[in-house]
Amino acid sequence: MTSFSENGLFGGLFDRGRARTGDEAWLQAMLDTEAALARAAERAGLAPAGSGAAVTAAARSENFDNQSLGVQAAATGNPVPALVRALTGLLPGAAYGAAAAVHRGATSQDIIDTAAMLLARRAIGAIGADLATAAGACADLAQAHAGTVMAGRTLLQQAVPVTFGLVAAGWLTAIDEARCELHRIAATRLAVQFGGAAGTLASLGDAGPAVAALLATELGLPEPVLPWHTSRLRIIELAAALAGACAVLGKIGRDVALLAQTEVAEVHEDSGGGKRGGSSAMPHKQNPVAAIVILGCARQAPGLLATLAAAGEQEHQRAAGAWHAEWEPLSDLLRLTGSAAAWAADLLTGLRADPARMRANLDASGGLPMAEHLAALLAPALGRLDAHDLVARASARAAADGTGLAQALLGDETAAARLAAAGLDRGRVEAALAPGSYLGASAEFVGRALAAHAALDLPGERPAA
């Protein structure tokens, strides 16, 4: 089951899923970093035996008062100094022993940046699990509806026929590409941060690089070539991957919202037995809630990405304000991407297509979406431009009179004569207007998408518990 956090009035909408990025998650990630650093210091011979275990035992979020740490952060510009004091105070014999391992060689940014990497890795695992569920549902839809003909739409107008299977395959491929990018970020770009005051680790003497390597090993994070205090490309790449995932999910949400309109009604969300989608004013309404909330999440992502990209320009060895500007936007972007992914898993696993309605909407256009096909058949005899113009004039008559394209062509003497000269009698015209005759490579593309999806193996995605 999908879990919900107590994140205020809107938590059920914008904090859905398992991508935890609130105060408790941040605090535990910082404590995990401090604990790993203590273990690394002990392994490097810089702290007494047992120090790492003692710090790790104390570094549990329930042992700390988030509100108090937040108040104290106002004195230092971040919560780490207060956290270090509180953590040290929990250790037995705090003046000696294990206290020597706490925050050894680190600066506040090392702890917060590394915590951000841990937070992102955990969130990406949860996001990936929901994206995998959503992708699996898309694959099912693509396979089930590979031959379900519907109107393709460009610029919100009917274009040429497609299949709903191809639409779902497009969703599938986009989700899988977003999953791959998030996997790449999690595997290669979420590096540990450990540089000390100005990126030299001078306080550790010759042991600095060894402690950095041990810290990376303890946390299971890559060790970067250098500390990256004011080189923020990792954050920007992470943010871009999250915003990209939101864009993919937003496109699906938009498609579903449009296809679920009353006048279109080609797809329907699962209403949860009538419990979801109602209106406070109109008893008849059945709103596509999942699609709408996905869009609500996705619309916020570009602004958060822009803030994080703007914060990437940082001065000298430590930034004055730009680093601080990252924390909340990154938390929000992780949270919203997680929520959009959870909603998408819900939406797509319960989405119902209506093939009869799809065909009825296509047929209601009187064959106009097949105009390109007819023009292509006429082109060898009339030339491409003349064929296009002949069918365009007939299409305009059909739209104005409501007669349908076949009648507009065959009922006009000039057009009928040119059709006959091209070897197109009524039977061939009507056959050319059959939507199933003009699907191009739709079936092959669906097959490619399904094959690529089946071959995808992303072990970092953590399945929902």
**Alpha carbon distance 207, 100 (integer Å):** 15
Name the H helices within 299-425: 301-310, 327-350, 355-363, 371-382, 384-401, 405-410, 413-421
Helix, strand or coil, per DSSP, at residue 59: coil
**Alpha carbon distance 431, 374 (integer Å):** 10
Here the tokens at position 272 are 């949860």
At residue 199, φ and ψ (nearest 5 deg) are 85, 15
**Alpha carbon distance 354, 264 (integer Å):** 10
Longest dimension (CA), the chain: 103
Cα 92–chain centre separation: 45
What sign results for the dihedral spanned by CA atoms 61, 62, 63, 66? positive
Q: Which residues are catalytic?
A: 279, 318
Cα 344–chain centre separation: 9
Residue 50: left if φ>0, alpha if ψ -120 to 50, beta else—which one?
left
Q: Which amino acid is at 338?
A: G
Question: How large is the C-alpha radius of gyration of the chain?
Answer: 29
**Alpha carbon distance 78, 389 (integer Å):** 69
Strand 267-268 versus strand 352-353 pairing type: antiparallel
Here the tokens at position 242 are 């999250």
**Alpha carbon distance 161, 435 (integer Å):** 6
**Alpha carbon distance 175, 181 (integer Å):** 10
At residue 417, φ and ψ (nearest 5 deg) are -65, -40
Q: Which amino acid is at 197?
A: A
At residue 195, φ and ψ (nearest 5 deg) are -135, -5
**Alpha carbon distance 109, 229 (integer Å):** 7
Who contacts 442 (Cβ-Cβ below 8 Å, separation ≥6)? 146, 162, 163, 165, 166
